[in-house]
């Protein structure tokens, strides 16, 4: 079965002294905390079942990876 898999090719920029830090965002990951539902069943102050927003994805159902690459001298 096919599987979507993000791949990041790491390569130093042309001018690493001027651009020592790279930052990129990779989105479209299903939230593992709520399993992509975006909410959980919870109880309100009267004991009634209510939908509560996922605290991790804030109800968006998806997560993004914020990747930061810092170019430094090798030790
Ligand atoms: Zn979530």
H, E, C per residue of 22-67: EEEEEEEEECCCCCCCCEEEEECCCCCEEEEECCCCCCCCEEEEEE
Is residue 11 domain-resident?
no
Residue 23 Cα to ligand 1 middle (Å)? 23
Residue 21 Cα to ligand 1 middle (Å)? 29
- Residues spanned by the domain of 48: 22-70
Whole-angstrom distance, CA of residue 24 vs CA of residue 45: 42
Q: What is the pLDDT at residue 4?
A: 78
Is residue 61 domain-resident?
yes
Whole-angstrom distance, CA of residue 31 vs CA of residue 56: 8
Residue 51 Cα to ligand 1 middle (Å)? 13
Average pLDDT score, the chain: 94
Is residue 14 domain-resident?
no
Is residue 66 domain-resident?
yes
Is residue 38 domain-resident?
yes
Between 22 and 4, the more confident residue is 22
Q: What is the pTM of this model?
A: 0.71
Q: How confident is the model at residue 42 (pLDDT cuts 50, 70, 90)?
A: very high
Question: In Å, how far are 12, 57, 64, 68 from 52, measured between CA atoms?
Answer: 44, 12, 21, 32
Residue 63 Cα to ligand 1 middle (Å)? 8
Share of the chain above pLDDT 70, in %: 100
């Amino acid at each position: 079965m096919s599987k979507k898999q993000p791949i990041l090719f790491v390569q130093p920029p042309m001018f690493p002294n001027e651009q020592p830090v790279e930052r990129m965002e990779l989105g479209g990951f299903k939230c593992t905390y709520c399993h992509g539902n975006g909410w959980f069943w919870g109880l309100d102050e009267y004991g009634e079942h209510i939908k509560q927003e996922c605290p991790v994805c804030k109800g968006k159902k998806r997560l993004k990876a914020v990747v930061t690459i810092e170019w430094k001298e090798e030790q």
